Amino acid sequence: MLAPAKDLATAIWAFKAGADSVYLGLKHFSARDAATNFTLEEFRRLKEYALTHQKKIFVALNTLITDQELPLVLELVNELALFAVDGVIVQDLGLAFLIKEHFPTLPLHASTQLAIHNYHGLTVARRLGFKRVVLARELDINTIHELKLAVPDIEIEVFVHGALCYSFSGLCLASGLLLGRSGNRGKCAQICRNYFTHFTSGRDKRRKQYCFSCNDLFGGGGNLLNYLQDAGVNALKIEGRMKSREYVFEVVSFYRRLLDEMHGSTEQNIFGERLQRMRLTFARKYTSAFFFQQQQPGGHLDILSSDYPGHRGVFLGNIDNSGSNRHKSWMKFRMHMHMHMHMHMHIHIDSKLQMVINSGDLLLYISPEKDNFVRFNAFNITIFDNVVTVGGLDFLPEVKGEIYLLRCSKQKDLPAFDHKLFPIYKKVVDVTMQGCATASTIQKLLPKSDLSRFVVNLHLKDQVDFFTNPIPLASIKKIKNQLYQKLNQCWEEKTQEFIQQILSTTKKGGRDIAVTAIDQELSDFLSHRANLNPYQEGGSMDATERIIPFFSYEKLLAVNRAGKQALASIPVYGPCPSLKYFIPLSPLIRNYQVDSYFDTLEEILKLFISEANSKVKYYLGINNLAHLSLIERFSHMPQVAFFLDFYFYTSNRFVPEVLLKMASSAQILFAYNWVEGQKIPSQVTSSFLPIISICDEQNLPLMVSWICFEMNRRNDCSTGSAKCRTECRADCRQKYCSRIINNGQAFRVIVENCATYVFRDMEKV
């Protein structure tokens, strides 16, 4: 069990609650930039504690890294290697390449930001040197099991609790492109937690909804942990590096109890009490998300709550009566005798615990129409025969409104710790010296090195006294301080030399990476990424029909069915005979479709190549790790080449180096500059590939998701209606378009074959 830790105190409490390991961020390059995060000193104190208690620490360097930041991140990596961290969680492929090449002792973990979701992606990750992969959250249990069977020699880590993103992790550009706060840099503004005004079909009426706000993942029901164990999962991960230490402690305690008693019976009252305590620290509605989806796209309607995006705590009841008395209002509701949780047919928890409300408790009111909510402290409380009356309210609650307990006034916060009370971890340096009368004194003083990276382990040889008079203690201390000062100075100097050596070399030498020169006209064509969007069948040039920027599985099948005529649907550049066709590959290909996708692609290429002259080229756009496997697969086809598309995030000059791991030869036309990085000083320099910046970023998808927007909109599952469908309608058109608005900005939501794409709508509101 892997727990989050935003600071030292949270990490200690996580260990005390039963976590086997924690993951944390440092002050730089953490995907939770707003968390407190760790200094290197705090990390070293936790490292010493973890060693003493047989625990592990994983450090998340899981943001994209710019060229300008490479010296600093490599300095941090060098420190982590010195202090033998148990693993480094990485998203940036350039950083992963550098760690594997120059820090081979550091275990590499692939962040969920890499969106690894099929076995080709898992295979490529293993080939790039990753020891463990944090899988995308969008996978069901069967798929997870299939992935482990397909690639058994790589560790699998799965999220089982915490917040969910609407978009695939790593593929959300909303915050970065709209606000300049990239989620790939740890600065996500959580646009998916905002409300949108939705134009309902066929009516002028507008509805405000939190239509992208996901419920919290809950893995504590339906025997899920048993299923994951049977599927071969190595680690269960809890989300929450922004959460309080109370949250982490209660969640870890809950899952520790479940893990310890998986094969026994958990007493319902104890189970329910822990669940209540956990929910009071922070909880939205719970969902099993994709775990029980069983490869039926779109069938996960309990994943969204459009009425309220925040902490709900524990449900108390529905309002039976309310009214006003002079300038204040009151309400009555019957408190539920049981806490029920009905999420998925596999999950049902019913604990016979009665909640108690105290004066000063923080409550939440949600109106019956789900269009208004109020958080308030309740002071004027009377309870009789389980009926609660709350008076002195500054608002008038409506009958049938919902009441939740957010925080109990008697809740106690967990104490923090003085970090100086925890010993600091140091690298042991063995030194042998000739013995003397003062050697024992020196030996006792050497460990007292304050914050030095090192501690000298002195080995005495030959007890011979070279001094007729004892050395003064002050002189010994001075010698000791000079020794450690020199050790640290040498380390820092060697580190800088090492980093400069790393950054001044590339690995292209000795590999046949063919790079084609790009003239200004082609560069201008490529800089408009919409030029590479697939045409509709028949070659329609209508821009509104070319909004999806890559070939989905269904689109590729349609191209294959059309045969030679399908060339009209593929973007092309150049005069005859030197035509360049572009086939951007979909970043999301379901595991049970990926082989068919690649086979279909090969059939299409063979068909086209057989009809074309030798000067025609077909360029495949790489948007996911899984696509790298195609470099070797098509190495025997000289007319097939590649480019690194916008989802491959070429954020620094070492990202293209991963291509060298995949084949001894490859033809690469260019790489798109990391599009969010165009808003910060992050120009990629000295790459062996031409780097193209996108000038029409407004046409790129802001979110890409496997949560069907249309199905959830039609069912509106925030009401908890039992009539919600759990699968696609028989008359589903498989293609829908909706228009939503937030703060004067319009957005277009496209649903194609159960995948959802969110774009900016440039039309005026």
pLDDT > 90? residue 72:
yes
**What's the DSSP call for residue 363?**
E
At 341, give phi and psi (nearest 5°): -135, 110
Class of residue 8 by CB neighbours under 10 A (exposed 0-12, middle 13-18, buried 19+): buried
Distance in angstroms (rounded) separating the CA atoms of residues 764 and 746: 8
At 501, give phi and psi (nearest 5°): -65, -40
- The rounded radius of gyration (Å) of the Cα atoms in the chain is 29
Dump pLDDT digits (tens) for 575-594: 877 889 999 999 999 999 99
CB-CB contact of 594 with 119 (8 Å) = yes
Q: What is the DSSP string of 254-294?
A: HHHHHHHTTTS---HHHHHHHHHHHHHHS---EE-TTTT-T
Round the average pLDDT of the chain to a whole number and report it.
Answer: 86
E strands along 171-215, which residues?
196-199, 206-209
CB-CB contact of 557 with 519 (8 Å) = no
Res. 723 pLDDT band, cuts 50 70 90? very low
Q: What is the DSSP string of 665-703?
A: EEEEEEEEBPSGGGGSS----S-SS-EE--S-GGGS-SE
What is the reported pLDDT for 435? 59
CA distances from 590 to 302, 554, 623, 716 (A): 21, 12, 14, 26
Taking alpha carbons only, the member of 591, 758, 707 closest to residue 301 is 707
Distance in angstroms (rounded) separating the CA atoms of residues 754 and 294: 14
What is the reported pLDDT for 344? 42
pLDDT > 80? residue 91:
yes
Helix (H, G, I), strand (E, B) or coil at 300: coil
Residue partners of 115: CB distance under 8 A and separation at least 6: 121, 136, 168, 169, 170, 171, 587, 588, 624
What is the reported pLDDT for 718? 44
Residue 481 or 290, more confident: 290
What is the reported pLDDT for 263? 57
pLDDT > 90? residue 645:
yes
**What's the DSSP call for residue 337?**
S
Report how far apart the first and last C-alpha atoms of the chain are (Å, whole number): 48
Residue partners of 439: CB distance under 8 A and separation at least 6: 433, 458, 460, 463
Dump pLDDT digits (tens) for 392-403: 999 999 999 999
pLDDT > 50? residue 276:
yes
C-beta atoms surrounding 639 within 10 Å: 17
Pairing between β-strand 206-209 and β-strand 691-692 as defined by DSSP bridges = unpaired
Distance in angstroms (rounded) separating the CA atoms of residues 703 and 716: 20
Taking alpha carbons only, the member of 160, 146, 157 closest to residue 112 is 157
CB-CB contact of 71 with 503 (8 Å) = yes
C-beta atoms surrounding 443 within 10 Å: 16
CA distances from 338 to 266, 271, 401, 421 (A): 17, 13, 18, 44
Share of the chain above pLDDT 70, in %: 83
**What's the DSSP call for residue 662?**
T
pLDDT > 70? residue 722:
no
CA distances from 306 to 454, 582, 756 (A): 54, 39, 16
**What's the DSSP call for residue 100?**
H
Taking alpha carbons only, the member of 477, 554, 550, 522 closest to residue 669 is 522
Max mean pLDDT range (64-73, 539-548, 721-730): 64-73
Largest CA distance in the chain: 102
CB-CB contact of 61 with 88 (8 Å) = yes
Res. 474 pLDDT band, cuts 50 70 90? confident
Distance in angstroms (rounded) separating the CA atoms of residues 604 and 757: 26
Max mean pLDDT range (18-27, 254-263, 410-419, 675-684): 18-27
Distance in angstroms (rounded) separating the CA atoms of residues 274 and 250: 7
- Look up residue 385 and give its two tokens: 């025969």
**What's the DSSP call for residue 428?**
E
C-beta atoms surrounding 612 within 10 Å: 16
Max mean pLDDT range (287-296, 444-453, 495-504): 495-504
What is the reported pLDDT for 434? 66
Taking alpha carbons only, the member of 733, 613, 651 closest to residue 29 is 651
Give me the residue label for tokens 């909004």: 547
What is the four-CA torsion angle of 635, 641, 648, 57, rounded to 10 degrees?
20
**What's the DSSP call for residue 85?**
-
Average the pLDDT over 320-339 and give the result.
85
pLDDT > 80? residue 616:
yes
Distance in angstroms (rounded) separating the CA atoms of residues 579 and 616: 5
Average the pLDDT over 284-297 and give the result.
80
- Look up residue 577 and give its two tokens: 């005979």
What is the reported pLDDT for 720? 40
Q: How many CA atoms lie within 13 A of 699 on its CB side?
A: 19
Instruction: Tell me the β-bridge partners of 456.
Output: 429
Taking alpha carbons only, the member of 604, 672, 673 closest to residue 639 is 604
Distance in angstroms (rounded) separating the CA atoms of residues 539 and 78: 53
What is the amino acid identity at position 561? R
Average the pLDDT over 206-220 and give the result.
88
Res. 571 pLDDT band, cuts 50 70 90? very high
Average the pLDDT over 480-503 and give the result.
91
Distance in angstroms (rounded) separating the CA atoms of residues 167 and 176: 13
Dump pLDDT digits (tens) for 92-140: 999 999 999 999 999 999 999 999 999 999 999 999 999 999 999 999 9
What's the predicted TM-score (pTM) here? 0.92
Handedness of CA 633, 639, 644, 647 (dihedral sign): negative
Distance in angstroms (rounded) separating the CA atoms of residues 753 and 50: 47
Distance in angstroms (rounded) separating the CA atoms of residues 281 and 688: 51
Give me the residue label for tokens 């727990």: 3
